Amino acid sequence: MRISAAGSKTWRSATHRIAAAGRLAGFTLLELLVVVAIVAIASAGVALALRDSSQTQLEREAQRLAALLESARAQSRTLGVAVVWRSQARGFVFEGLPAKALPSQWLDASTQVASGSVLVLGPEPIIAAQSVTLHSQQSTDLAWQVATDGLHPFALRALQADANAARSASVPPSQAAMP
């Protein structure tokens, strides 16, 4: 019978621990395949969620236009000059502001506005009620109206892009109620 000192380990118990640790240290092929499959499914879901639909892009363009119009309105009041926003074939222009003061193109090439759309943005603090309607070449089922009553900031409103909604969107809100 072998007797060892207190606290020392025997040779046999040390080899058992090393063998047991070796079996528990790695992953099996099945476990690795399950992890790879989970990562692949998760990354595919993220990739699909990050894609912009044309409706989301159009809403983003409308939000951007509302912010640009408010910025031009503030600059008009600060500088004391009249600023006019006009739609063009491939974008828009802010007349009355220095060149390159604000962007002049849509981020999405499929964004469209009725040609000849004009908004007068100042320099008076209260302007006439005005609106402009954005729609996309890719998606004809939805349009966004960017409008103000003249006192409040420009705001967005989703429209169904049928003929009646498009016709009423081109009329300022104050005139829409008139027969």
**Whole-number Å distance between alpha carbons of 61 and 76:** 22
The pLDDT, as a whole number, for residue 167 is 42
- Tens-digit pLDDT string for the chain (179 aa): 566 666 665 555 655 665 555 556 788 999 999 999 999 999 998 887 776 677 788 999 999 999 999 999 999 999 999 999 999 888 899 999 988 889 999 998 889 997 778 999 989 989 999 999 999 888 778 899 999 999 999 999 998 755 444 444 444 444 443 33
Domain boundaries, the chain: 54-174
Q: Look at residue 16 in the predicted model and tell me its pLDDT.
A: 60
Measured distance CA(2)–CA(12) in Å, rounded: 12
The pTM assigned to this predicted structure is 0.64
In CATH, the number for domain 54-174 is 3.55.40.10
Question: Residue holding tokens 């302007």?
Answer: 127
d(CA 116, CA 145): 16
Q: For residue 178, what pLDDT is reported? A: 36
pLDDT of amino acid 139 = 77
Q: Is the dihedral of CA 74, 80, 82, 87 positive or negative?
A: negative
Rounded to whole angstroms, what are the CA distances from 131 to 89, 143, 146?
Answer: 18, 13, 6
Which residues is 146 bridged to in the sheet?
132, 156
